């Protein structure tokens, strides 16, 4: 009888530990677009959530990469900072596959933005256009490949 009680207590106490969601898991869950293959990490000591994903599905459909990237950032940044108060910033990077003249493929950074908590709090995320998100960030890197049409 004691072993049954001990086993039951052990199971009850272990469930919350397994159910705890990390910021990385949360961000991956937000990005639901098929083919983006998001991966996330939380860096220490600055407690930054880093989210990277492939923009290739948007390139293949010849969609506006700035707007598509901005729409994803609008979902990830405010939701992550609201849910995880210990995060100080969120960095989102969009990758595209490039082809060199020898036919080799590699993933290259097309765009990266970083929002700190204070900046994010000042933005009315629902009111801004997705294409304008990049310009509102604290730090940004935009590759010329994002501005030019991507040849496949």
43-59 pLDDT tens trace = 656 789 998 888 888 87
- State residue 27's pLDDT score: 74
Using the predicted structure, report yes or no on whether residue 147 has a pLDDT greater than 90: no
Report pLDDT for 96. Answer: 87
Is residue 143 packed enough to be buried (19+ CB in 10 Å), middle (13-18) or exposed (0-12)? middle
Q: What is the pLDDT of residue 92?
A: 93
Residue 20: its pLDDT value, please? 62
Over the stretch 67-117, which tens digit does the pLDDT of each residue have?
889 999 999 999 999 999 999 999 999 988 888 888 888 888 899 999 999
Mean pLDDT of the chain: 79
| Most confident option among 22-26, 30-34, 62-66 | 62-66
Residue 44 confidence (pLDDT)? 59
Question: Can you give the pLDDT at residue 145?
Answer: 65
């Amino acid at each position: 009888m004691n072993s049954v009680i001990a086993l039951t207590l052990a199971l009850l106490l272990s469930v919350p530990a397994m159910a705890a969601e990390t910021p990385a898991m949360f961000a991956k869950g937000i990005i639901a677009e098929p083919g983006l293959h998001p991966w996330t990490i939380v860096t220490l000591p600055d407690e930054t959530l880093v989210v990277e994903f492939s923009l290739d599905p948007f390139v293949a459909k010849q969609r506006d990469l700035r707007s598509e990237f901005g729409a994803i950032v609008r979902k990830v940044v405010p939701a992550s900072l609201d849910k995880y108060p210990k995060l100080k910033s969120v960095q989102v990077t969009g990758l595209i596959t490039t082809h060199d003249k020898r036919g080799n493929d590699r993933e290259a950074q097309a765009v990266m933005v970083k929002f700190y908590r204070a900046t994010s709090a000042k933005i009315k995320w629902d009111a801004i256009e997705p294409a304008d998100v990049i310009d509102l960030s604290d730090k940004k890197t935009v590759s010329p490949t994002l501005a030019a049409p991507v040849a496949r």
